[in-house]
């Protein structure tokens, strides 16, 4: 097999001293193939790592920009978002930060970052080509308000984010896991909302979008029932697509197939004094 026909997203392999095959990162200094390693329990994943070819420009962006704008979700430290989004003038403690889970190739993320330069976007995904693509877009567009995180967003929320540090949470077109036996893998579940709520400031916006109608119905039901969130829509239903969310390529593909896109906009309710003490 020639090198050009290998999966460019797969780690290189070499024989260890005892004949073991060990994985080496494809992009030294870039995202780790398994950032959390064995530090945290294995569980049902709400995502599937996608393997596709990393282009030359994406690989170059990963090598050059990851040390500055990227981070691995290792679960071993608490992030200081002011430091993470700092620049040559130092930390930026007044910068509001939104967490985006699953950004695909990053085009919509870069567009939102360009339209709102006074908001930081912490964008999480496990797709290496998309990570490289978003880093390249951020550099070309001169965006200093994007940071790219590699790994499991559950570990990020549970282990690495301090309380009430986020001004928003975006989950656009998550995997719908359409088969009934896979519904437990869907991200938007009561347990996920309970996990995410403490990291959100009171009034922070949770924005979900999906083109899979049964999943939209589940999202609406789960969010409506959760005590930490309230619907921004007076009628308790879906929201019109807000102007700040661009139409993504994935969304266009769904619309071409006749799918209906639903947006859900819920607000983080201020915790009660009893909740705050727990």
For the annotated catalytic residues, the residue numbers are 175
Sequence-distant (6+) residues with CB within 8 A of 267 are 203, 204, 205, 206, 229, 230, 231, 232
Instruction: Please state, in angstroms and rounded to a whole number, the distance separating the CA atoms of residues 37 and 40.
Output: 7
Q: Which of 177, 149, 173 is nearest to 247 (CA)?
A: 173
Instruction: Please state, in angstroms and rounded to a whole number, the distance separating the CA atoms of residues 156 and 45.
Output: 14
Distances (CA, A) of 181 to 1, 177, 185, 186, 187: 37, 9, 9, 11, 14
Measured from the Cβ of residue 211, the count of other Cβ atoms closer than 10 Å reads 21
CB 204 within 8 A of CB 168: yes
Edge-to-edge strand ranges of the sheet holding 200-210: 70-72, 146-150, 120-125, 97-101, 166-172, 200-210, 262-268, 229-231
DSSP 119-147: SEEEEEE--HHHHHHHHHHHHHHT--SEE
Q: Which of 219, 212, 224, 215 is nearest to 253 (CA)?
A: 212
Q: What is the DSSP letter of 112?
A: H
Instruction: Please state, in angstroms and rounded to a whole number, the distance separating the CA atoms of residues 229 and 269.
Output: 5
Measured from the Cβ of residue 272, the count of other Cβ atoms closer than 10 Å reads 10
The helix (H) or strand (E) run that includes residue 86 is none
């Amino acid at each position: 097999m020639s090198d050009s026909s290998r999966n460019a997203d797969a780690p290189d392999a070499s024989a260890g001293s005892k004949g073991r095959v060990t994985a080496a990162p494809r992009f030294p200094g870039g995202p780790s193939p398994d950032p959390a390693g064995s530090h945290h329990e294995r569980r049902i994943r709400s995502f599937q790592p996608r393997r596709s070819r990393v282009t030359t420009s994406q690989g170059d962006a990963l090598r050059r920009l990851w040390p500055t704008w990227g981070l691995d979700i290792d679960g071993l430290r608490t992030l200081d978002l002011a430091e993470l989004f700092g620049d040559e003038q130092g930390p930026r403690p007044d910068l509001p930060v939104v967490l985006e889970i699953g950004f695909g190739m990053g085009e919509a993320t870069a567009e939102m970052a360009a339209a709102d330069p006074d908001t930081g976007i912490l964008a999480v995904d496990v797709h290496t080509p998309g990570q490289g693509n978003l880093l390249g877009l951020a550099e070309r567009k001169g965006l200093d308000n994007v940071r790219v995180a590699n790994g499991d967003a559950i570990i990020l929320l549970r282990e690495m984010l301090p309380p009430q540090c986020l001004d928003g949470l975006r989950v656009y077109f998550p995997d719908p896991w359409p088969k009934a036996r896979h519904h437990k893998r869907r991200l938007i579940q009561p347990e996920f909302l309970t996990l995410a709520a403490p990291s959100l400031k009171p009034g922070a916006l949770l924005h979900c979008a999906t083109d899979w109608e049964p999943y939209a119905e589940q999202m609406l039901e789960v969010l409506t029932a959760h005590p930490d969130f309230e619907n921004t829509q007076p009628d308790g239903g879906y929201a019109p697509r807000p102007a700040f969310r661009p139409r993504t390529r994935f969304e266009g593909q769904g619309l071409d197939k006749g799918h209906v896109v639903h947006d859900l906009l819920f607000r983080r309710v201020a915790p009660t004094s009893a909740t705050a003490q727990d």
